[in-house]
Structure 1
């Protein structure tokens, strides 16, 4: 039986929500999903539609969510709808909602600049650091990351606030530079999964723009995450 994937996208255009989500549509279709695309989270409030959704792919940076759509999103995940997203599209969505933060299990707090504040150019590249994504012991045997070695990226490195209910499959460590306020390196989750009710959630903080979602390791994690999180065929 065909399953349905709902792509909900929007928010800040700098994260390329249209281009990144469009790039995964062929993969979803090849794996038997009918894909529905919405440019607003209002769809979450439609209980009849959400009852038929097997996978949510959300890429909505910042923005806001009303009470009814948020309740619908949480209800759908608790009932078994999977949820996958990357970077700010899932870990920096709906900053004013504590219930959303609890659902996802992690929130973007900062990405460090590669130069002192007085030398910043104002471009996104101010925050493009060279860093390593380290697969955890759990990650080495998990279906999302098994067989993937530690890998290097040059992109935004997310400083994430999180809790220990997450299953952390990969981490990244923010260095301490001369101009930073922190006084030692700090390690954060970079890829995690989370069970909420009957639903599975997958978060990849790498995914700043289209070129990062196309890095082989990142794309593999996201693609595997979609198949792993989606509700089993009914």
Structure 2
């Protein structure tokens, strides 16, 4: 199996430190891993990879590069990532937003204590329980094609007038490919929390081409 890790963009999401945490796991799981610190990787034929792990916040994805990424996913290449590296990337690209199935819009209060609740028995979250943590709580807009496995709830506060529950972990199918998204992960230390680490590792394996 082959995996491509694409990392960069806004340095505040520690793209190198965050992805380095999962390189040994990928290799021990049988992947030959290539790492790119440039979006030039999306100029190539990505179909030779079984999994693309993306940690690239903000940035601009050209139409040609998006077409390359989507063609690979449609053909069976998995796409996986966490936090802004997946769901706060390439805002200008409607195609990319449709592919991923969700978009970050806010984290009210910046770093706040909140809970993540497990809401399914999917293999990505099987056996896990809800947990609390203090970090950015991502308010995301998502579509109904996602299979949601964990959620987080914002308490009522001005200017919104009622509690709001949004997905925190989801999977989706796109053509023959699979997409995994986890909104937790602003700090690399967030990814070291046992339930978060478990969900991401399982999500990487789930998304990879069968």
- Same fold judged by TM-score > 0.5? yes
Q: CA deviation at 1:17?
A: 0.5
Counterparts of 1:21-36 in structure 2, within 5 Å, are 21-36=19-34
Q: Deviations over 1:92-139 (max 9, x none)?
A: 0001010000000000000001xxxxxxxxxxxxx1111110111xx2
Structure 2 partner of 1:226:
204
Q: Distance in 2 between matches of 1:175 and 1:97?
A: 31
Q: Does 1:109 align with 2:105?
A: yes
Structure 2 partner of 1:152:
132
Displacement over 6 Å in runs of 4+: none
Q: Distance in 2 between matches of 1:213 and 1:64?
A: 25
Contact 1:12-1:62 at 8 Å conserved across structures: yes
Match of 1:170 among 147, 150, 166: 150
Structure 2 partner of 1:89:
85
Structure 2 partner of 1:216:
194
Q: CA deviation at 1:201?
A: 0.3
Q: CA deviation at 1:45?
A: 2.1
Q: Distance in 2 between matches of 1:226 and 1:202?
A: 7
User: How many correspondences in the alignment?
Assistant: 210
Whose Rg is larger? Answer: 1
Q: Could you list the runs of 5+ residues in structure 1 that have no partner in the other structure?
A: 114-126
Contact 1:45-1:71 at 8 Å conserved across structures: no
Q: CA deviation at 1:46?
A: 1.0
SS in structure 2 at match of 1:44: helix
Which TM-score applies when normalising by structure 1? 0.88
Which TM-score applies when normalising by structure 2? 0.98
Q: CA deviation at 1:42?
A: 2.1
Match of 2:42 among 37, 41, 44: 44
Q: Distance in 2 between matches of 1:58 and 1:40?
A: 11
Q: CA deviation at 1:52?
A: 1.1
Q: Does 1:134 align with 2:117?
A: yes
Q: CA deviation at 1:185?
A: 1.0
